[in-house]
């Protein structure tokens, strides 16, 4: 989540769900919270009951809108224009300029006063691009974005090989392609001392003035023209936010993937962070930004990442396009002088000790060589192309359904058909496992199983209840789930699969002294097993994740105990402290309370619930108000205290000033709440960490029916990443063949690609088939009635589905132009009980340059009445074949319609 990371320091929700109840105004934007997080939404309802204003900004009127005080329908993908206009409104509002709270918060806790490099040029000066843009490579040189005085650092702290022209390494373009700007940001190393500031915020090159100028043209009129939002509705939102922010009131934002899934998705999120910093809402109860993750442990999957560019705890993967040759090089490049990341060596060395054990010694750089180096983009979308192009030959797919959930799913199925082998581990025979006989292409006869070479393994997996382990929820809270029963048949956990496969591979490589032999043989893999099936003892895994001292295997209490000398081992430093002593797994804590619930589960880091909570006190350390107190300085005890674990050095005084030459966190003054940032401040202006600009800028989606009203010369994101090839063709802006905006979304009754819901009868009956939603106006234009079969088309593919004609969708008036929007759930596929056309057969591979996330929330399409030619019968959303319903009822007695249990459990 680089959008939050770049401005605040960490890629996680800044608050926790329960705390929404304390909000005075909640803006849900880029999320359909009532539908996708119904239980979390109960805190929104509590806030509403207490009188909070609830605002939903969304292209569609959803179950969230139904509960809101204000619903703002906006054009999909135009969120930055809306948020930017809020920024502009706030800065110029009377309240913001007259209530001293705002100025105090902003000057002390953000980088508003920092003077930026004099050579920096804004998009307003360069017609839609920032200074440093290279149109050939579509990339930015970040030099001019830096803080003043930091640009001509003698060494190249980023270690970017390409900045050294004599190097014969891979070129700069590739260097930029490798890393995503995950929370730590790769230029954190630039800052070595306190930057030059103007606390009066008057200097034209101070961050505040740059922000002010950048957004000056984001007016209510512009919002109406770009977003299709009536001005009075926009003003209503702006006023609600300004009124409900301040010393005694706080507003919060909730967002989800409807912000991330855009070519400028990271900047949408970052714009929200910018706005919330300006309003003084970060780090305070009832404030903040709640990132709503879509799956049980999306947050955990990035903390302990199965992502190509990260190691556990947001350490960057070593890469061959930076000067990462040795551990010393890596640490030199990746360790900033200031801020918490100054501790990087401790975390990296401890990780190497955890993975390579005794073989990791100071002499061999702790076996750093054994860690592979990445060299290019291997993110999800690129992987599909690597499979299709024969680079990836074997694929493991565990609990993911890419031929429904992946973009350009037509290409995705072709990619699977070009693999040598495919291992699918799941609980149902999902579409990805069945592609070779059940895909639309096979049913239509375009592809025959006899022509598909892929060797396919389906290994049944076990589920919660059948295995133990932990999930990290949307608020960074790690919770343990116990095992209740043994799994049936061959069902096994992924831990079992990995452990047993690893053991077999170690046997196969026994005695192999080549590099690849050493890599697997050196890996520490001696987890004790339990039970007949040989499941790993997860206590041993949690111990390793928590960290221990190597000599006596004693658990460390927290990441503060980790060392860079090889005396400690730790699998994921941000989770350190989860098991501070033997037998005490804090994720198993189950004592909840009404406040911060500090004894329910374990929230990383260090069990903090509201991040940056130093900002809940004023610069002198006193609560901003009685109503909004959370963490404060206790002068008699000489420490920070309050309702939460302070996200700040516990005994650092509010008036602390760093001595000359101080390093790391000691270099931050006592009023710098953002401890992960090099200067300890929230970044209104992001000097580093974002590839597409230090400030959010409105660009149209990659596919849009209209041009960019703000910057006609730069309609699309100038640095979005794309894959132009015959099997992934894009629509030009304003292409009359594809006049409609389509946005994809989820329903309460299903989860993602449906692998856990469309196969469950109780959920299948609630939403039994695919459909799309259109306005009565569009329906009338195309002669479509409610319930008709329709076909949606793009240059990637087509999908047939049923039409739901509803007033919940409405055409938008952008000046003279009317834009129609189509909404289509992306759950459905050709397998399971609830079937339907695949929305992702329509979408394209295209990426946000920061997160490498696609643009499924906004692209263009055409729509016509009628079914697709030659489409397989299996798409019917009427009752499927009678055998299937019968089969679905017979195996377990209680499912059978005839077996209604009337004995009330006797």
The CA distance from 362 to 349, in Å, is 9
User: What are the residues whose beta carbons fall under 8 Å from the beta carbon of 232, sequence distance 6 or more?
Assistant: none
Query: Please, which residue, 134 or 876, has the CB nearer to another protein?
Result: 876
Query: Please, which residue, 525 or 656, has the CB nearer to another protein?
Result: 525
Taking the complex as a whole, the smallest distance from the CB of residue 372 to another protein amounts, in Å, to 4
Identified binder of another protein from the candidate list 749, 798, 800, 855, rule CB under 8 A: 749
User: What are the residues whose beta carbons fall under 8 Å from the beta carbon of 705, sequence distance 6 or more?
Assistant: 733, 734, 738, 739, 740, 741, 817, 819, 860
Query: Please, which residue, 337 or 848, has the CB nearer to another protein?
Result: 848
Distance of CA 740 to the CA centre of its chain: 27
Residue 378 interacting with another protein (CB under 8 A): yes
> Which residues, 180 to 199, sit near another protein by CB under 8 A?
none
Helix (H, G, I), strand (E, B) or coil at 271: helix
Residue 473 interacting with another protein (CB under 8 A): yes
Quick check: 127 and 217 in contact, CB under 8 A?
no
Identified binder of another protein from the candidate list 202, 216, 444, 516, rule CB under 8 A: 516
Identified binder of another protein from the candidate list 144, 174, 509, 558, rule CB under 8 A: 509
Residue 458 interacting with another protein (CB under 8 A): yes
Please name which of 611, 581, 609, 606 lies closest in space to residue 593, comparing C-alpha atoms: 609
Taking the complex as a whole, the smallest distance from the CB of residue 115 to another protein amounts, in Å, to 37
User: What are the residues whose beta carbons fall under 8 Å from the beta carbon of 323, sequence distance 6 or more?
Assistant: 159, 160, 161, 329, 332, 333
Taking the complex as a whole, the smallest distance from the CB of residue 579 to another protein amounts, in Å, to 12
Please name which of 896, 886, 902, 760 lies closest in space to residue 834, comparing C-alpha atoms: 760
Taking the complex as a whole, the smallest distance from the CB of residue 50 to another protein amounts, in Å, to 12
Taking the complex as a whole, the smallest distance from the CB of residue 623 to another protein amounts, in Å, to 23
Residue 252 interacting with another protein (CB under 8 A): no
Site string for another protein, 204-233 (x = CB under 8 A): --------------------------x--x
Could you give the C-alpha distances from 120 to 136, 496, 533, 602, in angstroms and in order? 20, 54, 62, 43
Identified binder of another protein from the candidate list 523, 606, 709, 733, rule CB under 8 A: 523
Residue 264 interacting with another protein (CB under 8 A): no
Residue 366 interacting with another protein (CB under 8 A): no
Could you give the C-alpha distances from 51 to 250, 283, 624, in angstroms and in order? 13, 22, 21
Stretch that binds another protein, among 188-196, 519-527, 658-666, 685-693 (CB under 8 A): 519-527
Taking the complex as a whole, the smallest distance from the CB of residue 29 to another protein amounts, in Å, to 14
Residue 391 interacting with another protein (CB under 8 A): yes
Residue 313 interacting with another protein (CB under 8 A): no
Beta strand 139-140 with 133-134 is antiparallel
The CA distance from 501 to 423, in Å, is 12
Q: Total binding residues for another protein by CB under 8 A?
A: 237
Quick check: 23 and 252 in contact, CB under 8 A?
yes
Report CA torsion sign: 733, 739, 743, 744.
negative
Residue 45 interacting with another protein (CB under 8 A): yes
Please name which of 397, 430, 426, 396 lies closest in space to residue 490, comparing C-alpha atoms: 426
> Is the preceding omega at residue 605 within 30 degrees of 0, hence cis?
yes
Residue 526 interacting with another protein (CB under 8 A): no
> Which residues, 315 to 354, sit near another protein by CB under 8 A?
317, 320, 325
Identified binder of another protein from the candidate list 475, 607, 688, 821, rule CB under 8 A: 475
> Which residues, 436 to 455, sit near another protein by CB under 8 A?
436-437, 449-455
Determine how many CB atoms are found less than 10 A away from the CB of residue 484. 10
Identified binder of another protein from the candidate list 207, 478, 665, 677, rule CB under 8 A: 478
Stretch that binds another protein, among 22-30, 32-40, 218-226, 672-680 (CB under 8 A): 32-40
Identified binder of another protein from the candidate list 769, 797, 823, 829, rule CB under 8 A: 769
Beta strand 529-530 with 631-634 is unpaired
Identified binder of another protein from the candidate list 362, 531, 592, 712, rule CB under 8 A: 592
Query: Please, which residue, 96 or 548, has the CB nearer to another protein?
Result: 548
Identified binder of another protein from the candidate list 6, 26, 41, 336, rule CB under 8 A: 41
Residue 63 interacting with another protein (CB under 8 A): yes
**Residues facing 253 on adjacent strands:** 27, 289
Quick check: 151 and 131 in contact, CB under 8 A?
no
Query: Please, which residue, 210 or 222, has the CB nearer to another protein?
Result: 222
> Which residues, 685 to 724, sit near another protein by CB under 8 A?
none
Residue 890 interacting with another protein (CB under 8 A): yes
Quick check: 393 and 366 in contact, CB under 8 A?
no
Residue 865 interacting with another protein (CB under 8 A): no
């Amino acid at each position: 989540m680089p959008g939050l990371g770049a401005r605040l320091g960490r890629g996680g929700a800044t608050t926790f769900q329960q705390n929404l109840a304390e909000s005075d105004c909640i803006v849900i934007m880029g999320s359909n919270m009532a539908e996708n997080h119904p239980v979390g939404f109960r805190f929104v309802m509590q806030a509403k009951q207490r009188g909070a204003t609830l605002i939903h900004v969304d292209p569609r009127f959803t179950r969230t809108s139904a509960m809101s005080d204000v619903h703002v329908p906006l054009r999909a993908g135009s969120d930055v224009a809306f948020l930017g206009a809020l920024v502009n409104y706030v800065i110029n509002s009377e309240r913001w300029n007259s209530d001293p709270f705002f100025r105090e918060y902003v000057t002390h806790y953000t980088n508003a006063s920092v003077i930026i490099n004099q050579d920096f040029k804004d998009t307003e000066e360069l017609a839609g691009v920032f200074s440093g843009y290279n149109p050939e490579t579509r990339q930015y040189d970040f030099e001019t974005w830096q803080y003043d005085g930091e640009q001509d650092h003698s060494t190249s702290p980023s270690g970017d090989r390409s900045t050294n022209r004599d190097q014969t390494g891979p070129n700069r373009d590739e260097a930029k392609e490798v890393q995503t700007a995950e929370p730590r940001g790769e230029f954190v190393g630039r800052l070595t001392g306190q930057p030059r500031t103007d606390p009066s915020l008057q200097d034209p090159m101070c961050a505040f003035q740059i922000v002010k100028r950048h957004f000056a043209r984001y007016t209510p009129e512009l919002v109406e023209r770009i977003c299709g939002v009536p001005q009075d509705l926009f003003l209503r939102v702006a006023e609600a936010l300004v009124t409900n922010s301040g010393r005694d009131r706080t507003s919060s934002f909730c967002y989800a993937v409807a912000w991330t899934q855009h070519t400028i998705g990271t900047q949408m999120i970052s714009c929200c962070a910018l706005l919330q910093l300006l309003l003084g809402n970060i780090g305070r109860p009832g404030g903040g930004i709640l990132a709503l993750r879509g799956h049980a442990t999306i947050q955990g999957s990035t903390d302990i990442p199965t992502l190509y560019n990260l190691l556990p705890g947001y350490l960057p993967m070593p890469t061959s396009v930076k000067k990462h040759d040795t551990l010393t090089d890596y640490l030199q490049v990746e360790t900033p002088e200031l801020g918490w990341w100054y501790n990087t060596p401790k975390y990296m060395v401890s990780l190497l000790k955890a993975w390579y054990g005794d073989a990791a010694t100071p002499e061999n750089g702790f076996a750093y060589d054994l860690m592979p180096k990445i060299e290019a983009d291997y993110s999800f979308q690129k992987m599909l192309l690597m499979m299709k192009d024969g680079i990836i030959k074997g694929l493991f797919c565990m609990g993911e359904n890419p031929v429904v959930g992946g973009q350009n799913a037509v290409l995705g199925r072709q990619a699977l058909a070009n693999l040598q082998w495919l291992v699918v581990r799941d609980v149902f025979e999902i579409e990805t496992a069945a592609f070779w006989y059940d895909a639309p292409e096979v049913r239509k006869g375009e592809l025959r199983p006899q022509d598909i070479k892929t060797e396919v393994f389906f290994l049944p997996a076990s589920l919660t209840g059948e295995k133990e382990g932990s999930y990290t929820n949307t608020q960074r809270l790690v919770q343990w789930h116990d095992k209740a029963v043994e799994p049936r048949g061959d069902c096994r956990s992924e831990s079992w699969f990995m452990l047993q496969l690893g053991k077999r591979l170690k046997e196969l490589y026994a005695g192999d002294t080549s590099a690849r032999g050493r890599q697997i043989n050196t890996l520490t893999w001696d987890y004790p097993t339990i039970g007949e099936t040989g499941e790993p003892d997860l206590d041993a895994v949690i111990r390793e994740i928590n960290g221990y001292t190597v000599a006596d295997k004693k658990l460390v209490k927290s990441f503060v105990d980790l060392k860079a000398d090889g005396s400690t081992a730790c699998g994921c430093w941000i989770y350190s402290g989860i098991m501070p002593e033997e037998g005490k797994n804090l994720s198993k804590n189950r004592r909840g309370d009404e406040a911060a619930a500090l004894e329910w589960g374990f929230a990383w880091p260090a069990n903090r619930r509201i991040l940056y909570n130093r900002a809940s006190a004023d610069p002198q350390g006193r609560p901003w108000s009685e109503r909004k107190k959370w963490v404060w300085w206790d002068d008699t005890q000489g420490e920070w205290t309050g309702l939460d674990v302070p996200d700040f050095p516990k005994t650092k005084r509010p008036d602390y000033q760093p001595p000359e030459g101080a390093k790391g966190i000691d270099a931050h003054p006592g009023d710098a709440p953002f401890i992960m940032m090099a200067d300890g401040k929230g970044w209104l202006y992001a000097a580093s960490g974002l590839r597409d600009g230090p400030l959010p800028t409105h660009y149209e989606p990659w596919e849009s029916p209209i041009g960019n009203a703000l910057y006609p010369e730069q309609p699309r994101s100038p640095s979005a990443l794309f894959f132009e090839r015959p099997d992934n063709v894009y629509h030009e802006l304003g292409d009359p063949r594809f006049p409609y905006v389509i946005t994809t979304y989820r329903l309460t009754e299903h989860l993602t690609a449906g692998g856990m819901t469309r196969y469950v009868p109780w959920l299948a009956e609630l939403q039994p088939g695919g459909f799309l939603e259109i306005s009565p106006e569009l329906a009338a234009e195309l002669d479509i009635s409610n319930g008709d079969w329709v076909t949606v088309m793009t240059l990637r593919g087509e999908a047939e589905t049923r039409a739901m004609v509803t007033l919940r969708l409405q055409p938008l008036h952008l000046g003279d132009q009317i834009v129609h929007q189509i909404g289509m759930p992306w759950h459905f596929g050709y397998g399971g009980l609830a079937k339907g056309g695949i929305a992702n057969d329509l979408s394209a591979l295209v990426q946000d340059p920061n997160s490498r996330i696609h643009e499924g929330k906004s692209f263009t399409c055409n729509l016509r009445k009628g079914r697709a030619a030659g489409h397989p019968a299996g798409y019917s959303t009427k009752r499927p074949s009678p055998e299937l319903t019968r089969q679905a009822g017979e195996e377990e007695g209680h499912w059978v319609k005839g077996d209604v249990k009337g004995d009330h459990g006797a």
